[in-house]
C-alpha cells in the first residue's frame, strides 16, 4: 500500500511540473495529508481536494458561496472503502467535486458531534442512516440533501443536478434548509419534566414485557437481521431477570450470550468480536473489530460468569482480552480504535473478511487427520458455509455436550483446540492483516478500562488491574488538564479535539470503578473534577440535561443532547449513573437530584422503546429496588472485597479502606486490627458484621 502511494506521489510531481501557474493553483489541495486520523489519511491521495472539518474550510465555503460536500466515515468501514474506490478515486467525479463544491471529509469517531447532526438530517430526509454518510450542504453548513452509500453513477448525477439547480434557484434550497434545520433541532428535543418523579416496578415490568415480544427465541437477540450485540441491553436484562427471579428472561439472556459466543461474530481463532452479524444466527459478521464493542462485551460476559459460572463466558473474556493485548494496545498502554473489515488477498485485492475466512481444502491441508473432528466442532458444512466456498467458523453446542457426543474428554478437546488455533494462526501469518486504526479515543479507552476492571473483579487476574491502571494514568497525563478539561483524541503524541460528553461520562465511570477496586482516593478526586467540569461546561440549566458538546465549542447546525442508548449507552444516561454513584461516595445529594431529574425527563420517551433506553432502565432499578452501600474497613478489607466480588450483586456500591479515611462512607469506620463490613442505605448503616455471608444476609433482607 505504501509503495502505491509513493508511486502516485511521484506521478503527481511530474504532472504538477508541467502545469501552468494558473493550473497549479487548483492542483494538490487535498489537505488531509496534514491530519493524524487514519481514516482521513486513507483519503489523503484521492484526486478530490478534500479538506478537514475546521473553521477555515467552512469560511472558504461562505467566501466562495459554494455548496459543501460533507462525507463522513471511519477507518474500519467496508462500504466507505467501496465508495472511495468507485467515486473518490475517479478523476471525472473529482473534477466535478473540485469545481463546484468545497469537499470536507470527516472521521465520525474523531468528530461524533458533526456526525450526529448530519446523520439526523439524513434520517429526516430518507428515513435511514449509516456509513458512509454523504451530505450536501449550503455554504453556511446547513444540509439540503444526503444519503449513505451511492454508486458512482448515482453520485455523479446527484452532484451535477444539485449544483446546477442551486445556481439557477438558490432560494428554494435555502427555504428547504430552514425547514430541515427546524426538524433537526426538534428531533432530540428534551423538555424539563416538572411532574413528581414516579419510578415503579410496574412501569419497568410493562416495558420489559413489550420488549420481549421482539426476542428471537431460537438464536437470541432481537428477531431480525442484521444483529448488533448491544451490550447495555443485556446488562440491564440480565440484572432485571436476576433481581426479579425471572427465569424465562434469564434463559433468553443466556441463550443470546451463548449464541454470540458460538457464532462467527466472535473470532473463534484470535478472540474478539466483530461489530455485528449480517444474519440471524450470529454467523457472518461485518468483519471490523471495534474497541468499544469488545470493551463492553468483556464487562457483560464477566458479570454473566458471576451468575452462571459458565466456562464459555470465562473463555470469551480471556480470549477477547488477549486479542486486545495483541492487536489494539499501544506500547504506551493506551488502546487503539479498530481493525478494518477489509484486508488484502493474495492477489492484493482489498476484500471484506479475507483475513478470517477459510476454504475446506485449506483447512484439510492444515489440520490433516484432525479435520473431521474440527469440521464437526466448527461446522465446516452447509451450516457454516458463507459464500464462494468460504467458511466462517461457528459452533452449535457447548464443549461439555460436544465431548459427550463425540466420546472425547474435555482435556483432550482443549488440547486439540489449542493445537488447531496455533496452526490456523500460523497460516494467517502469511496473510495481510486488516488495517489498524491506531488513533486513541478517550471515551472508548475509558470503556476498555471498565472492561478490564470488571474482568479483574470477577477473575482476580492482577495483570488486568495493571493494564487498567496504566491506561487510566495515560489519560490523566496526556488527555486531562488541571482544570478538568479532557481531550477526545490522541495520536503520535498529539491531542487536538476537545472532549465530548461521552468522554467525561465514560472516564468518570472508569475512575469511580478504579477507586472502588483499589481504594486509591486519587481516582475519586479525578472523577469529581471531571464531573464538576462537565456540569459547568455541558449542563443545560433549563432542560437539566447535558449537551453533547461543550459550551466553549463552536456551534453546529444544532446543539445535540444525546439521550438514546445505542451500541454504546448514551452519554446522558452514563452521566446520570455516575452522578448517582458520586452522590453516594461523596454524600452530595445535589448529584442524586440531578440524576433523578434526568431520568424523569426521559421517562415518557422510554415507553415502548426499552431497547433504546436500557441504561436508563438500569438506573431506574436503583430507585425501584433496594440499593446498598457496602463499606469494608480494616486490615483485611481487600481480602473481604475479593470474596464479595465472586458474587453477582448489581444493587450495591462498594467502598473499602485498610486505614482511616475522611470520605463520607468511610469516616469513623476504621478500627485497628479489625475488619468490619457495614451495609448502608443513603449512608445510614446497620450494625457492622465481619463475614461476607452475614453481609449477604443483610443485603437480601
Per-residue pLDDT tens over the stretch 320-371: 999 999 999 999 999 999 999 999 988 888 899 999 999 999 999 999 999 9
Angstrom distance (rounded) from CA 517 to CA 538: 29
Per-residue pLDDT tens over the stretch 110-155: 999 999 999 999 999 999 899 999 999 999 999 999 999 999 999 9
Domain positions in the chain:
25-187, 201-342+437-624, 356-430, 628-700
Q: Are strands 143-147 and 133-137 parallel, antiparallel or unpaired?
A: antiparallel
Q: How far is CA 693 from the centre of its chain?
A: 37
3-state secondary structure of 380: coil
Query: Which pLDDT band, with edges at 50, 70 and 90, does 189 fall under?
Result: confident
Rounded to a whole number of angstroms, the CA Rg of the chain reads 27
| Residue whose C-alpha cell reads 448529584 in the numeric block | 591
Per-residue pLDDT tens over the stretch 246-282: 999 999 999 999 999 999 999 999 999 999 999 999 9
669 φ/ψ angles, rounded to the nearest 5 degrees:
-100, -20
In which region does residue 52 sit, left (phi positive, over 0), alpha (psi from -120 to 50) or beta (all else)? beta
Helices 637-644 and 692-700, interaxial angle, to 10°? 50
Contact assessment for residue 113 and residue 560, using Cβ atoms and an 8 Å cutoff: yes
* Long-range Cβ contact pairs of 400-408 (< 8 A, separation 24 or more): 402/377, 406/373, 406/376, 408/373
625 φ/ψ angles, rounded to the nearest 5 degrees:
-125, 160
Pick the CATH number of 25-187 from 1.10.10.60, 3.40.50.150, 3.40.30.10, 3.40.50.2300: 3.40.30.10
Contact assessment for residue 677 and residue 689, using Cβ atoms and an 8 Å cutoff: yes
What's the pLDDT at 29?
A: 85
Contact assessment for residue 54 and residue 104, using Cβ atoms and an 8 Å cutoff: no
Q: Is the pLDDT of residue 316 over 80?
A: yes
User: DSSP string covering 478-500, please?
Assistant: HTB-TTS-BBSEEBTTB--SBPP
Per-residue pLDDT tens over the stretch 172-181: 999 999 999 9
Nearest Cα to 34, choosing from 105, 98, 97, 133?
105
Cell numbers linked to 626: 433496594
| Whole-Å CA distances, 25 to 17, 28, 559 | 12, 8, 37
**In 3-state terms, the chain is what percent helix, strand and coil (to 5)?**
50, 15, 35
Query: Which pLDDT band, with edges at 50, 70 and 90, does 701 fall under?
Result: low
Per-residue pLDDT tens over the stretch 2-54: 343 333 333 333 333 434 443 344 444 899 999 999 999 999 999 999 999 99
Q: Whole-structure pTM over 0.85, yes or no?
A: yes
Angstrom distance (rounded) from CA 131 to CA 149: 7
Query: Which pLDDT band, with edges at 50, 70 and 90, does 684 fall under?
Result: confident
Nearest Cα to 303, choosing from 611, 650, 652?
650
Task: Spell out where 211-317 has E strands.
Answer: 227-228, 276-277, 285-286, 289-290
Angstrom distance (rounded) from CA 41 to CA 31: 10
Contact assessment for residue 509 and residue 449, using Cβ atoms and an 8 Å cutoff: no
3-state secondary structure of 562: coil
Sign for the pseudo-dihedral over CA of 425, 431, 437, 439:
positive
Domain 201-342+437-624, CATH: 1.50.10.10
What's the pLDDT at 8?
A: 36
- State the maximum Cα–Cα separation within the chain, in Å, rounded to a whole number: 88
3-state secondary structure of 27: coil
Amino acid at each position: 500500500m505504501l509503495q502505491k502511494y509513493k508511486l502516485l506521489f511521484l506521478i503527481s510531481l511530474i504532472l504538477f511540473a508541467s502545469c501552468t501557474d494558473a493550473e497549479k493553483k487548483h492542483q494538490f489541495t487535498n489537505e488531509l495529508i496534514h491530519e493524524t486520523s487514519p481514516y482521513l489519511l486513507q483519503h489523503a491521495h484521492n484526486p478530490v481536494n478534500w479538506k478537514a472539518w475546521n473553521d477555515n474550510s467552512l469560511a472558504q465555503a461562505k467566501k466562495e458561496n459554494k455548496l459543501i460536500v460533507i462525507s463522513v466515515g471511519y477507518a474500519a468501514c467496508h462500504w466507505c472503502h467501496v465508495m472511495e474506490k468507485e467515486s473518490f478515486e475517479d478523476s471525472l467525479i473529482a473534477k466535478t467535486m473540485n469545481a463546484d463544491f468545497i469537499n470536507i471529509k470527516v472521521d465520525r469517531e474523531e468528530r461524533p458531534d458533526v456526525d450526529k447532526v448530519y446523520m439526523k438530517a439524513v434520517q429526516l430526509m430518507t428515513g435511514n442512516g449509516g456509513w458512509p454518510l454523504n451530505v450536501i450542504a449550503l455554504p453556511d453548513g446547513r444540509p439540503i440533501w444526503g444519503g449513505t452509500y451511492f454508486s458512482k453513477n448515482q453520485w455523479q448525477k446527484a452532484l451535477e443536478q444539485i449544483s446546477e439547480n442551486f445556481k439557477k434557484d438558490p432560494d428554494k434550497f435555502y427555504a428547504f434548509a430552514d425547514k430541515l434545520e427546524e426538524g433537526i433541532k426538534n428531533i432530540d428535543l428534551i423538555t424539563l419534566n416538572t411532574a413528581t418523579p414516579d419510578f415503579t416496578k410496574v412501569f419497568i415490568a410493562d416495558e420489559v414485557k413489550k420488549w420481549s415480544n421482539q426476542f428471537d427465541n431460537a438464536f437470541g437477540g432481537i428477531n431480525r437481521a442484521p444483529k448488533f450485540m448491544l451490550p447495555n441491553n443485556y446488562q440491564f436484562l440480565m440484572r432485571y431477570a436476576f433481581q426479579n427471579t425471572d427465569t424465562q428472561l434469564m434463559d433468553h439472556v443466556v441463550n443470546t450470550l451463548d449464541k454470540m459466543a458460538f457464532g462467527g461474530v466472535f473470532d473463534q481463532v484470535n478472540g474478539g468480536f466483530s461489530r455485528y452479524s449480517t444474519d440471524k444466527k450470529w454467523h457472518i459478521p461485518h468483519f471490523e473489530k471495534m474497541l468499544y464493542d469488545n470493551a463492553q462485551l468483556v464487562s457483560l460476559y464477566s458479570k454473566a460468569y458471576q451468575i452462571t459460572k459458565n466456562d464459555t463466558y470465562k473463555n470469551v473474556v480471556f480470549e477477547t482480552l488477549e486479542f486486545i493485548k495483541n492487536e489494539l494496545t499501544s506500547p504506551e498502554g493506551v488502546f487503539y480504535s479498530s481493525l478494518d473489515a477489509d484486508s488484502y488477498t493474495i492477489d492484493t485485492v482489498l476484500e471484506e473478511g479475507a483475513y478470517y475466512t477459510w476454504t475446506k481444502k485449506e483447512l484439510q491441508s492444515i489440520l490433516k487427520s484432525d479435520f473431521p473432528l474440527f469440521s464437526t466442532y466448527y461446522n465446516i458444512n452447509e451450516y457454516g458455509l458463507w459464500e464462494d466456498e468460504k467458511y466462517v467458523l461457528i459452533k452449535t453446542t457447548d464443549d461439555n455436550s460436544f465431548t459427550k457426543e463425540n466420546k472425547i474428554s474435555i482435556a483432550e478437546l482443549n488440547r486439540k483446540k489449542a493445537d488447531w488455533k496455533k496452526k490456523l494462526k500460523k497460516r494467517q501469518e502469511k496473510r495481510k492483516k486488516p488495517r489498524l486504526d491506531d488513533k486513541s479515543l478517550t471515551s472508548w479507552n475509558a470503556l476498555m478500562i471498565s472492561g478490564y476492571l470488571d474482568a479483574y473483579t470477577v477473575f482476580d487476574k492482577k495483570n488486568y488491574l495493571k493494564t487498567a491502571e496504566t491506561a487510566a494514568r495515560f489519560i490523566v497525563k496526556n488527555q486531562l488538564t488541571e482544570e478538568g478539561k479532557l481531550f477526545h483524541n490522541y495520536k503520535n503524541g498529539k491531542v487536538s479535539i476537545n472532549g465530548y460528553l461521552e468522554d467525561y461520562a465514560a472516564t468518570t465511570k472508569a475512575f469511580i470503578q478504579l477507586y472502588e477496586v483499589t481504594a486509591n482516593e486519587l481516582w475519586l478526586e479525578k472523577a469529581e473534577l471531571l464531573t464538576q467540569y462537565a456540569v459547568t461546561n455541558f449542563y443545560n440549566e433549563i432542560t437539566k440535561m447535558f449537551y453533547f458538546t461543550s459550551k466553549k465549542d463552536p456551534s453546529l447546525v444544532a446543539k445535540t443532547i444525546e439521550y438514546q442508548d445505542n451500541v454504546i449507552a448514551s452519554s446522558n444516561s452514563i452521566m446520570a449513573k455516575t452522578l448517582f454513584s458520586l452522590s453516594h461516595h461523596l454524600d452530595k445529594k445535589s448529584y442524586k437530584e440531578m440524576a433523578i431529574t434526568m431520568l424523569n425527563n426521559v421517562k415518557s420517551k422510554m415507553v415502548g422503546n426499552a431497547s433504546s433506553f436500557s441504561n436508563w432502565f438500569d438506573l431506574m432499578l436503583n430507585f425501584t429496588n433496594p440499593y446498598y452501600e457496602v463499606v469494608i474497613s480494616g486490615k483485611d478489607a481487600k481480602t473481604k472485597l475479593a470474596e464479595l466480588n465472586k458474587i453477582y450483586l448489581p444493587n450495591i456500591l462498594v467502598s473499602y479502606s485498610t486505614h482511616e479515611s475522611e470520605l463520607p462512607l468511610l469516616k469513623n469506620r476504621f478500627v485497628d486490627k479489625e475488619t468490619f463490613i457495614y451495609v448502608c442505605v443513603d449512608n445510614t448503616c446497620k450494625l457492622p458484621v465481619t463475614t461476607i455471608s452475614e453481609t449477604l444476609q443483610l443485603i437480601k433482607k
